[in-house]
Amino acid sequence: MFTSATITNAKYGLDPITGENTCINCVFNGSHLSVPLAAGNTEYIEIMRQVATGELTIADAD
């Protein structure tokens, strides 16, 4: 309904113990965010929406 967020530099971050993806680090409307992989999280919902529409690709973790 409203504007899409401007998301850049999206990249997964790893859990230092398990080595599994545990967050998405990105610049979201100009703010530096670390977004949890949580279904009800507003930023996660927007990231996944943009991934689904092909607007955004999340880079693998280092």
Contact 39, 48 (CB under 8 A): no
Residue 8 binding other proteins, by CB under 8 A? no
Task: Count the site residues for other proteins by CB under 8 A.
Answer: 29
CB distance 45 to 52 below 8 Å: no
Q: Sketch the per residue contact string, 28 through 47, with other proteins: x for CB under 8 A, - otherwise.
A: -xxxxxxxxxx-xxxxx---
Contact 33, 27 (CB under 8 A): yes
In the set 8, 10, 27, 56, which binds other proteins (CB under 8 A)? 27
SS3 state at 60: coil
Tell me which residues touch other proteins (CB under 8 A).
2-3, 5-6, 13, 15-18, 20, 22-23, 25, 27, 29-38, 40-44
